[in-house]
Amino acid sequence: MQWLLAVVMCLVAAAVSAQERDCEACPELALVPPGNFVMGTPAERVGPDAARDEIPQLVMTIARPFYIAVHEVTVGQFRRYVEATGNEPAPGCRVWLGGQWVRERDRGWRDPGFAAPPADDEPVVCVNWDDARAYADWLARESGRRYRLPSEAEWEYAARGGTSFARFWAERDSHEEVTLSLACDYANVYDATAVDVWHFAWPNARCDDRAAGLAPVGRYRPNAFGIRDIIGNAREWVQDCYTASYLGRPIDAQAWTWQGGCERVVVRGGSWASRPREARAAARDAEPAALRQSDLGFRVLREYE
C-alpha cells in the first residue's frame, strides 16, 4: 500500500502545478494535501538510527492542505528582502574552522565562509530564527497571503512525501553502513566529495554528488509532493520550541510554542555537513534562536485560503 500512496501523492502533486507563485518576490509553491501520518520514529529504532526526542510516535492530522516552498529560500530571494526592508542581519556566523564550529565576526549570509561567494540560487544560510520569521512576515505583506515558517509536524509531513520511510526515496537506505547510498540523487549530505574537503570525524553517505558544501537549489530529485532539498543542503528553522520528547504534544499539527518564548528552537532536515542518520524526515536538532551558522537556513509555508 505504501507504494500506491506514493503514486497517488505524485499524481496529486503533478495535477497541481508546483510552480504556483503569489507575487514577483514570492517563492514557487507546492500544494501539500491533507491527511494523517505517523510522526517520529519507532521506539525500537532509537539508538542506532534515532534519538530519544523522536518518540513516542504520534498519529498527526493535517486537516487542511497547505502550500510549502518548493526550494529553500535562496540568497537572491533573501537579498531582495534585505534591499526592500533594510533589515540587514547582524554580522557574525558560525563556520567550520580548524575542526570545529567557530563564530567568525566577519562572516554572514553574504559570505558564509565557503571557497567562493554564495550564488543567488544557493540556499541562504547564516540567518537566525528571527531573520527567517521576519522574511516570512515580509512575504505576507508583499503578497497579501499568510506566509510563515512551517510547524514541526507540517515540515515532517511534507518531507515524508506520502511515505513512512526514514527518507522518502528508499525504505532501506537508512543505515550508515550501507555500501551504496541513493542519497546523492535526492539530497546534499556529507558524502564522498565532502570528505575530501572537510574531513569530519563522523560517517559519510556512500555516494558522491560533487557538492562539498552548499548546492544550488533544485539540483536533486523531488519527493512525491514536488518538494526539493527538504533533506540535506541546509538545515531548516521551523516554528516550534524544542522539547525532549513528544509526550503531551497536540496531534493537530500546530506549532508547539510557549508564551514566554523558546529556550531552543527545532531545526529540521540535515545539511551538507550531516552524517546519514541526521538526514532523515524524523530527525530533529535544537538550536538557540539567535544562532547563525553556515549550514542553517529555512523555507516558508503559505497557508491555504
Domains in the chain: ranges and CATH: 2-72+124-303 (3.90.1580.10)
Q: Please, which residues have CB within 8 angstroms of residue 200's CB and are 6 or more apart in sequence?
A: 190, 194, 273, 275
pLDDT at 110 (0 to 100): 98
| Count helices and strands in the chain by DSSP H and E runs | 6, 12
Task: Give the distance between the most distant pair of CA atoms in the chain.
Answer: 52
CA separation for the pair 237, 293 (Å, rounded) = 12
58-116 pLDDT per residue, tens: 999 999 999 999 999 999 999 999 999 999 999 999 999 989 999 999 999 999 999 99
pLDDT of 281 strictly over 80: yes
Average pLDDT over residues 232-260: 95
Contact of 104 with 93, CB cutoff 8 Å = yes
Contact of 293 with 126, CB cutoff 8 Å = yes
pTM: 0.92
174-213 pLDDT per residue, tens: 678 786 789 999 999 999 999 999 999 999 999 999 999 9
